Amino acid sequence: MINIDIGATAVAVLTLFGIYSLMAISLNLEYGVAGVPNFGKALFISIGAYTAGITYTRTLPLLAGFEAIHPCGPTMGGALQLRSEIMASQPAAGFINLALTFLIAAAVAGAVGFAVSYITLRLKEEWFLALVLLVGGETVRIVVRGADDFICSHNGISGVAQPFYFVEDPRSSALLFMLLALALALLAYVYSQRLIHSPYGRMLKGLREDEDITRGLGKGVSLARAQIMAVGSVIAAIGGALFALNTGFVNTNDYVVNLTLDVWVMVVLGGIGNNRGALLGALLIALLDRFTQIGAIALNMSGSELEFNYVRFIAFGLILIWMLRNRPGGLLPESRLTTNAHDVAKGLIGR
């Protein structure tokens, strides 16, 4: 049998939980609250990851006072060694580079999300947006994979170390990164929670229920939808950057339709329109992911031929269908939005 290091496992699960939370909150804002079917989630997540791939190979050496080495082809090894050394010895450069990564990722993803939402206006049927986003995400992936100099085509970029790589004790280093991920997830949670319980959240829920009526009540729904797509995309891209740092490499193979489905499972499982549900969904999927990994290793060591990773996907499909059939609102169904208007009313009526 294998020994499970409970501490390390907990840190790994919680790190993943933080990263997944960002993704789930972002989809919950877009689909759960505003009703925009973002089946291109992988695209916006990948923007964060690709940005990390680029900054780690281009700006990081500059920040540390070196000349950047081309990360692909024959100089691949040298470039990898250089960024590992920088991450190990110059924490300041690492942190500035991380901030830069977040900034660029947020700006690019936000702009793309904002612009993409206007596609809806050109579509004959509402659900075509789902198809365009799904297909658009895959197209970008294929183009990035085909482009040699971007993130080294299908080879990807490895050695994308998390910012606490310089801490010598690997356990402390992982713990610090976990705290970073959780802090960012908490920030996104508080922000989105306040967003829902505001006049803006009210308008978005109105938009989700009926776009035409909302427009007829004087609301600029196209702008509102563009804004929430931008907000969601920024959060997703931050999640994507962390995702890349967590695995340590950037490869287009990670940002496929299955990743989009993972995020949808989190939201559908936890509760559509409920941020706490999104967090719960993220936690459950993070646990499931970790335990499939452990299960796969255990099964392998016991000499079984069964590939456990396949079981994970089957479980995903079954969970999704069971939820859609039996608990369409998710484990934590949507709660009512409340602003201080409700307190005013309560005070007036006296109950």
Partner 1 sequence: MPPALLTTSLVNTIQIGSLYALMALGITLTFSVMKLPNFAHAEFVTAGAYAALIVSLSGVLNPLAIMAAAFVVGALTALISHIAVFKPLENREVSLYTLILASFAVGLIIRYILFLMADYFNLFDLRIGIPLTILFREGSLILSNLFAWVVPTSILLVILLTLLLNATPLGREMRALANNSILARVIGIPVERVKNYTWLLVGGLAGVAGALWGLQSAVNPLMGWAAIISVFAAAILGGLSSFSGTILGAYVVAFSENTLMLFLNFNFGVDLAYKPAIPFIIIIAVLLLRPQGFTEIFRRAGDLDR
Partner 2 sequence: MGGGYTARVSTRYQGAEIMTALLELRNLRKDYGGLRAVDDVSLTVPEGAIIGLIGPNGSGKSTLINLIAGATQRSAGRVIFAGDDISDLPPDAVFKLGIARGYQEPALYLKLTVLDNMLLPVKNQRGEGPWYAPWWRTWHNEEAKHAERALAVLEQVQLLQQYDTLASDLSGGQMKLLEIARSLMGQPKLLLLDEPTAGVAPKLAYEIFEQIARLRREHGITFLIVEHRLEILFDFADTVYVMHLGNLLAEGSVAEIANHATVREVYFGE
DSSP 163-230: TTTTSSSHHHHHHHHHHHHHHHHHHHHHHHHHHHTSHHHHHHHHHHH-HHHHHHTT--HHHHHHHHHH
DSSP secondary-structure letter at 156? -
Residue 335 contacts partner 2 per CB under 8 A? no
Q: List helix spans (H) across the chain.
A: 6-27, 41-63, 76-89, 91-117, 128-146, 148-151, 170-196, 199-209, 211-216, 221-247, 257-270, 275-301, 308-326, 340-349
Residue 261 contacts partner 1 per CB under 8 A? yes
* Residue list 39-58, contact with partner 1 (CB under 8 A): 39
Read off φ and ψ for residue 341, nearest 5 degrees.
-55, -35
**Contacted by 128, from partner 1, partner 2, none: CB < 5 to 8 Å by type:** partner 1
Residue count, binding to partner 2 (CB under 8 A): 39
Amino acid at site 312: R
- Please identify, using beta-carbon distances, which residue of 139 and 339 lies nearer to partner 2: 339
Cβ at position 189, least distance to partner 2 in Å: 12
* Residue list 136-155, contact with partner 1 (CB under 8 A): 136, 138-139, 142-143, 145-146, 153
Residue 121 contacts partner 2 per CB under 8 A? no
**Contacted by 209, from partner 2, partner 1, none: CB < 5 to 8 Å by type:** partner 2
**Contacted by 37, from partner 1, partner 2, none: CB < 5 to 8 Å by type:** partner 1
Cβ at position 187, least distance to partner 2 in Å: 11
3-state DSSP assignment of residue 55: helix
Q: Which of 262, 275, 113 is nearest to 188 (CA)?
A: 275
- Give yes or no for a contact between 321 and 260, defined as CB atoms under 8 angstroms apart: no
**Contacted by 4, from partner 2, partner 1, none: CB < 5 to 8 Å by type:** none
In the list 198, 247, 293, 335, the residue contacting partner 2 (rule: CB under 8 A) is 198
In the list 58, 70, 219, 276, the residue contacting partner 2 (rule: CB under 8 A) is 219
Report the distance separating Cα 225 and Cα 230, nearest Å: 9
- Give yes or no for a contact between 131 and 119, defined as CB atoms under 8 angstroms apart: no
**Which residues have CB under 8 Å from 223's CB, separation 6+?**
none
Instruction: Supply 2's token pair.
Output: 């294998």
3-state DSSP assignment of residue 159: coil
In the list 62, 210, 297, 304, the residue contacting partner 2 (rule: CB under 8 A) is 210
Residue 168 contacts partner 1 per CB under 8 A? no
Cβ at position 256, least distance to partner 1 in Å: 10
Cβ at position 118, least distance to partner 1 in Å: 11
Residue 245 contacts partner 1 per CB under 8 A? no
Q: How far is CA 159 from the centre of its chain?
A: 20
Instruction: Supply 21's token pair.
Output: 């939370």
Residue 73 contacts partner 2 per CB under 8 A? no
List C-alpha distances in Å: 137 to 47, 48, 72, 156, 269: 10, 13, 24, 17, 23
Cβ at position 148, least distance to partner 2 in Å: 38
Q: Which residues bind partner 1 (CB under 8 A)?
A: 31, 37, 39, 119, 122-125, 127-128, 130-132, 135-136, 138-139, 142-143, 145-146, 153, 257-258, 261, 264, 268, 305-307, 310-311, 313-314, 316-318, 320-321, 324-325, 328
Footprint of partner 2 (CB under 8 A): 190-191, 194-195, 198-203, 205-206, 209-210, 212-221, 224, 227-228, 230-231, 336-337, 339-342, 344-345, 348-349
